[in-house]
Structure 1
Amino acid sequence: MNPATNALAVMPSLLAVAIAALMSALITWTSRPLLQRYALARPNARSSHRIPTPQGAGIAVIAATMLVASAWAAWANVTIPPALIMATVVITLVGFADDIVSLPVLVRLVLQAACVGAVVFTASDTARIVPALPLPLERGLILLAGIWFVNLVNFMDGLDLMTVAEVVPITAALLLLGMLGDLSWPAVLIATALCGAMLGFAPFNRPVAKVFLGDVGSLPIGLLLGWCLLELAWHGQSAAALLLPAYYLADSTITLFRRIARREQFWSAHRSHFYQHATDNGSSVPRVIGEVFALNLVLASLAIATVHTGSMAITIIALLTGAIAIAFVLRRFSRAQIS
């Protein structure tokens, strides 16, 4: 066991989760009056909330995540990529500006692409997913996927506790995989701190939410989570990296293609996601969130199984099982009243 691993073993992950949770909760609680005054999200035809609610508490989540992860990394002699830290700061500022003044779509995309590109193109040339592809082509495809992932986290953050129900199971699974040696320690630190920070935010976001993440939270969460999953794929676990966020990927991507096929302005706000159909069909918010959380636990279990069996047959079965489970939930959301 190397020195970094020894140090990480001395400082239990649960302690890091607890510190991040407490820090996130404290910053959220103290910042609510300012957010109430300067970053109020007012209901409109596309909203799921009914009363004006402050947004921007994502700053607490990101601050807690980066502070705890950075402190833990320094103590354990682990290096978090500087490009990731800088990109997270920049994309957080982009989200903050968008929460306050609503930036033009093109400006947002250019800045997001710069942040994702900084992370992707500064990675080691030995970090590969499909070695048969030319490196510039693979990195270009990862850049596009990263931009989409950052945005889909933002798109899916439209219901109380939705992002908590997505991020907590994923980061908990990443922590477990890291402890078992299947993920780089920098990614383990980020995932652990993010898990705790989301847990600290959860009491303020439970129905009916007292505060929202806002773009200042959803965009950098997408960047950090996407990087952790990319690290998992670079470690040869592409199936697990696909399974963990598969619900968000399916709901947002299918919705995007549907809107394009209908020639709608797919870049504009809407109420076309499956989880939005579920509430429109009469389902309660807690019921929808409960089903999403349960689905993500299933997907996390399948992802861990693909890693630790090392069997191609098990991987194929896990991918098919995950696809069936997602299809089942999406069908319920779009066609049935389940409350």
Structure 2
Amino acid sequence: MNYIIVFLVLTFLSIIYLKLADKLNIIDKPNHRSSHTSPTIRGGGILFFLAILIFFVSSGFQYPYFVLGVSLIAIVSFVDDIITLSSSFRLPFQFLAIVLCLYQIGYSPNDLLVLIPLLIVGVGFINIYNFMDGINGITGLYSIVSLLGILLINSKENIIDNNLIVYSLMSLVVFGFYNFRKKARMFAGDIGSISIAVLLFFIGVYFIKELKAPVIILLVAVYGADTILTIIYRKSIGESLTQAHRLHIYQKMVHTLNLSHLKVSTIYVLIQMIINTIVYYTYDLKISYQYLIIVLVSLILTVFYYFMFKSVEKIK
């Protein structure tokens, strides 16, 4: 399908959703954990899911198991955006979505020793990606940068249909029109962050398997480091992981350093762009070198997180 047509369709769908969400009161109201101060349309990330559906139909129904998986989790997440579902209800659908992605990639029950760790990592990843949503621009801009890294590699290696990546990028740009601003008109919601997370997991694992390139995991390194280190810190102080908080570095930069949402999102994006450049030039190296790069980047991000956290705490 022509890219201009797809972009116009997604733009039209965004206008329709904005009006429907307002009429149906799908609104995110501020609470003590929120980084926004006024009610805002929730669930705008439905555009990411719709972009995947547009690709699915226009491509002759490619990757049906992946699309089924992302559809299941998108529907559940959208319901959760409206009425709030328990984690015990959401979790089985998350596992099922990851199972379908892994089956689409080519794994089978015979790969049990690989499947179990990938299942745990997959469910953990989509929840980590969901946790990081919270300030204007961060989910959209960060996802664009991660997908651009994937697009560059795919343009050389031709692992998957490029249109899946391009249509998703278009949906992020359209969403960005409403979200990449001082006062956002819509938030991605769980349907947005989780749908894009399933997409990134599917493509990422596919690339790692086909290219034998574990360094691909660094395409989401900044998000991963922030969330994992924040979880470790919260556990160390005995705080419940289900409790609302403002302990992510990006939240501290906004609420303690008083930096704007878009400035903080841009900082995260620029760091990830540097890492993406490293990934692009190293994904075809020997695996031992790739693991070394993963360890070095992880250590650098950990040290950066530690000193940023301590600096912000002193100001507080």
State the SS of the aligned residue for 2:59. Answer: helix
The residue number in structure 2 matching 1:119 is 101
Q: Aligned pair in 2 of structure 1 residues 312, 185: CA closer, same or farther (>3 Å)?
A: closer
Letter in 1 for 2:13: I
Letter in 1 for 2:93: L
Q: Size of the alignment, in residue pairs? A: 310
Structure 2 counterpart of 1:32, from 18, 21, 27:
18
The residue number in structure 2 matching 1:195 is 169
* Percent pairwise identity: 23
Deviation at 1:314, TM superposition (A): 5.8
Structure 1 counterpart of 2:231, from 252, 256, 260:
256
Q: Aligned pair in 2 of structure 1 residues 332, 163: CA closer, same or farther (>3 Å)?
A: farther
The residue number in structure 1 matching 2:273 is 297
Matches within 5 A, 1:1-339: 16=3, 18-37=4-23, 38-67=25-54, 69-74=55-60, 80-121=62-103, 123-125=105-107, 135-181=111-157, 183-186=158-161, 188-206=162-180, 207-282=182-257, 283-308=259-284, 310-311=285-286, 315=290, 318-319=293-294, 322-323=297-298, 326-327=301-302, 329-331=304-306, 333-336=308-311
Deviation at 1:277, TM superposition (A): 1.4
The residue number in structure 2 matching 1:3 is none
C-alpha separation in 2, matches of 1:324 and 1:161? 26
8 Å Cα contact 1:87/1:118 also seen in 2: yes
Letter in 2 for 1:28: S
RMSD after superposition: 2.5
Letter in 2 for 1:185: I
Listed one character per residue, the Cα deviations across residues 302-335 of structure 1 (whole Å, up to 9, x for unaligned) are: 1101124x25676366435533553465356524
Deviation at 1:255, TM superposition (A): 1.4
Deviation at 1:290, TM superposition (A): 1.3
Deviation at 1:154, TM superposition (A): 0.9
Deviation at 1:109, TM superposition (A): 1.2
Q: Aligned pair in 2 of structure 1 residues 39, 93: CA closer, same or farther (>3 Å)?
A: same
Q: Aligned pair in 2 of structure 1 residues 119, 35: CA closer, same or farther (>3 Å)?
A: same
Letter in 2 for 1:274: I
State the SS of the aligned residue for 1:184. Answer: coil
Q: Tell me, which stretches of 5 or more residues in structure 1 are unaligned? A: 1-10, 128-133
C-alpha separation in 2, matches of 1:33 and 1:332? 44
The two structures have a TM-score, normalised by structure 1, of: 0.83
The two structures have a TM-score, normalised by structure 2, of: 0.88
C-alpha separation in 1, matches of 2:5 and 2:293? 34
Q: Tell me, which stretches of 5 or more residues in structure 2 are unaligned? A: none
8 Å Cα contact 1:121/1:139 also seen in 2: no
8 Å Cα contact 2:213/2:283 also seen in 1: no
